[in-house]
Amino acid sequence: MAGIWIFAEKREQALELLNIGRRLAAKTGTAVSALLPGNPDAARDYIAHGADEVLLLPPLAADQSCEAYLPVIVEEAKTADPDVFLCAATPRGKELAARIAARLETGLCSSCIALNYDEGGKNLEMERIAYGGAAIQKVTCLTRPVMATIPPRTFEPVTAEAGREGHIRKLPAPPPSRVRVLERKVRTRETRDITEAKVVIAVGRGFEKPEDLALARQLADALGGEIGCTRPISEENHWLPQELCIGLSGIQIKPDLYLGLGVSGQIQHVTGIRNAKVIAAVNKDENAPIFGVADFGIVGDLYDAAPKLLQELKRGS
């Protein structure tokens, strides 16, 4: 076994990949190498968090995109021949991983949510959500390196270990590319990033008009949380921004508490809350699918239940 490679654009995503990378390395008796784009100061931090080797990618020019690293990474992979290559499943990470896999003529498990090493068969079994969240697909890749993209927040970040030693090696500069970045525009967020929220109040079709979302906002404020929504609320009604849409085609959240108000609980939405520690729901339909995954549920009208919950929270404080 030659080793486990990880690549992520951001530190927090890298620490999550280092977590699963270290676990796989322990089972296979190999080392973990982290590809770090253009930030040599962070190399020691990556080593403290589990990397045995940091492969430094050179800084990019202003007119270069992350894809400029493609030939450098591919050539290094052909030489080092890693066993496993994990990339963060960001929009840019997914594109880069697919192009690397094509050039290495290997398979790629996209949006992988679990990895298990079969010591008997010496195979890595990967799991991903299929059929709109209705099933879990198990994938085994027979070529190398075994590649997978991992959605952010699938694994907990690894903790630092004092005194860890590792190697730092600089990779060559990428060759000239015919692709240039002409302009960069920063997308302005209309809301906070709810993927970091400890409490999320999700609103669904049970709300009759946009003004009534104030009920959910008051509950979120009382609990120190944020508001999310189902796709109909953001895509059809346009009551909330798209970045608050939770589900298979939206964002994945991992709060300590998720409370769905008027959320039916279709599988596409439930896929986005599967990692919540506690799931609670209010719905007047006792047969709503959300109750099948909820730890706590109230069968009742949200317009009656939400004010009472808010009253109890204020009384408790």
Radius of gyration of the chain (CA): 22
**pLDDT by residue (tens digit) across 296-307?**
999 999 999 999
Q: Where are the domains of the chain?
A: 4-170, 194-316
pLDDT, greater one: 228 or 41: 228
For 38-77, strand residue ranges (E) read 53-57
**pLDDT by residue (tens digit) across 270-288?**
989 988 999 999 999 999 9
Record the tokens describing residue 159, joined without a space: 């903790």
CATH superfamily of domain region 194-316: TPP-binding domain (3.40.50.1220)
The domain defined by 4-170 folds into Rossmann fold (3.40.50)
Averaged pLDDT score across all residues of the chain: 91
Q: Using a pLDDT cut of 70, give the percent of the chain over it.
A: 98
Q: What CA–CA distance (Å, rounded) separates 272 from 200?
A: 12
Q: Which residues are 259's β-sheet partners?
A: 201, 280
Q: Out of 23-32, 42-51, 59-68, 269-278, which region has the weakest mean confidence (pLDDT)?
A: 59-68
Q: What CA–CA distance (Å, rounded) separates 224 from 242?
A: 22
Helix and strand counts by DSSP (H, E) for the chain: 8, 15
Q: What CA–CA distance (Å, rounded) separates 61 from 43?
A: 20
Contact call for residues 241 and 190 (beta carbons, < 8 A)? yes
pTM, to two decimals: 0.81
The answer, yes or no, to whether residue 12 has pLDDT greater than 80, is yes
Kind and range of the H or E run holding 136: strand 135-140
Q: Do domains 4-170 and 194-316 have the same CATH topology?
A: yes
Residue 33 φ then ψ, to 5°? -115, 135
The answer, yes or no, to whether residue 268 has pLDDT greater than 60, is yes
The answer, yes or no, to whether residue 186 has pLDDT greater than 90, is no
